[in-house]
Chain A
């Protein structure tokens, strides 16, 4: 499973409150979450995410179990999220909603061309290749199906 796009760089320990604030959770309208994604981190980020690869620092997605955080990123058009480490619920949520997450340590400059291959286990930054930690077979299967809901439907 592959993806590519320009990098949008964010820091270490980005918590799910910074991805989508609690005040926007009183709805099931996904477009609201996409509109306000990263608002408390940098209000200009939401407009730069379509087709982009988010490159985060350590412990990406720590905090709440709120799945709206990964849905917001997917709805905003994010192609994938690369980080040296993820908080575990965020990581699992991303797989479940079909948002590729890649554990890899890569340098980041906004706008760099980032490409990844989940099956082969690598990430490229402006043509330079870095190793990525492989996912379990089940996680890849869920991601390939587009998330846990389509995966479930295909298995029944």
Chain B
């Protein structure tokens, strides 16, 4: 029988296949290089512009004249080539794609490493570089090596203050930063059914931090309910005696609030062991944890209180922002003393806004804490939203209470 990756790609693990892609997207950063490569390739028209998308998220709104000019060129290219554009403020590419543009069984490529996020929807989704993307836009297809699969077998339910992000940190620590290189992670087991779509997106998002090509969930009722909000449907699929490379068993009841310490994603400690660690900034957002469920959880903890350290909250998309406004979640966040920035990626990669100064320490809900990523000489700790909220109130790393 076949793993979900093998079923979607239509060949056994280890085989090289050429496949048409259903959706291919780039952002303002990689899109510029994709456009350059197309120019150098001499490609004038694209065969399937309806399958392509440009999403401005990395440096939005533009911060310098250079950035603005690059974005203007790309905006014009979207217009003449017929590629749909999600302009500045629309949201982070993976979040935008998760809002009704990706369905189970699709082959999805994005010019961003966290494209694996979309495996949460039962698609085979993986990141590529900009030149790769140019060839995909020009031909509608690309080659893949069908990955071997590691089953991440989930049992039980998350409880207490632990959330999907803690589970993500747990499996990254367990596998290590290259524990799944060239492979796929399939999230299976009874525990998978109990994880919300938001949590699944968080779990699949961090697959690449183990070197994996993708993280993937089988479509089920949770998937169908999510797609239903966008007028789409999904048929459930279940594993069938798959041939896995190995199985990683995780009991969700054992998961506690965790923190990845600088400068490695796989160096993880219990939040409790780091309680009291000095912080200069808390950052809540990114393609890992900027969804409505995250903002709502954060607001529930800080509501009626004041943060004790500068705290930046960035919704992952315009619909997330709009919903947070409509439900009062955003007002709670602002009244607690947080800054709110327009939907985008900026602070996560130190490209735009929320950059750290020399020696400053940030607790972030992002997926990477690489050296100097958020600014030269800064230090990044990674945590769940609940841990970030408790820490923002305390001004130091703090363990969240059950909410």
Contacts and interface: CB of A to CB of B under 8 A. Distances in A.
Interface string B168-179: 000000000110
Contact of A149 (B59, B129, B131, B371): B131
B182 interface: yes
Interface in B98-116: 111-113, 115
Nearest to A70: B129
B70 interface: yes
Given A40-B376, A59-B181, A68-B33, A26 B113 contact: no
A125 interface: no
Contacts, number: 122
B372 A40 contact: yes
A6 interface: no
A26 B373 CA distance: 15
A59 B177 contact: yes
Given A28-B70, A96-B132, A149-B41, A67 B33 contact: yes
Nearest to B368: A63
Given A26-B70, A64-B113, A92-B128, A149 B37 contact: yes
Nearest to B112: A65
Contacts of A86: 181
A13 interface: yes
Given A23-B350, A66-B30, A152 B135 contact: yes
Given A59-B211, A67-B33, A68-B33, A89 B113 contact: yes
Given A15-B370, A149-B37, A25 B29 contact: yes
Interface string B233-258: 00000000000000000000000000
A26 B66 contact: yes
B165 interface: no
A59 B211 CA distance: 8
Contacts of A70: 129
Contacts of A97: 131
Contacts of A65: 30, 111-113, 115, 127-130
Given A18-B370, A40-B372, A59-B211, A26 B59 contact: yes
Nearest to A90: B129
B157 interface: no
B138 A136 contact: no
Interface string B346-374: 00011100000000000000001011110
Contacts of B66: 26-27
A88 interface: yes
Interface string A15-36: 1011001110111100000000
A65 B345 CA distance: 15
B93 to A, nearest CB: 11
B213 interface: yes
Contacts of B211: 59, 62, 87-88
Given A65-B111, A152-B41, A22 B178 contact: no
A68 B36 CA distance: 13
A31 to B, nearest CB: 14
A119 B92 CA distance: 41
Which of A67, A85, A96 has the largest count of B CB atoms less than 10 A from its CB? Answer: A67
Interface string A72-100: 00000000000001111100110011000
B131 A26 contact: no
Contacts of A5: none
B123 to A, nearest CB: 17
A85 B165 CA distance: 28
Interface in B36-81: 36-37, 40-42, 58-59, 63-64, 66-67, 70
A40 B16 contact: no
Which of A21, A65, A66, A67 has the most B CB atoms < 10 Å from its CB? A65
B32 interface: yes
29 contacts: A15-B370, A17-B368, A17-B372, A21-B373, A21-B376, A22-B350, A22-B373, A23-B376, A25-B351, A26-B66, A26-B67, A62-B177, A62-B178, A63-B113, A64-B113, A65-B113, A65-B115, A65-B127, A65-B129, A66-B29, A68-B33, A85-B178, A86-B181, A87-B181, A92-B129, A149-B41, A152-B135, A152-B138, A153-B41
Given A28-B32, A63-B368, A96-B131, 13 more contacts: A13-B177, A15-B370, A26-B64, A27-B66, A40-B376, A62-B211, A65-B111, A66-B129, A67-B33, A86-B181, A87-B181, A88-B181, A136-B145
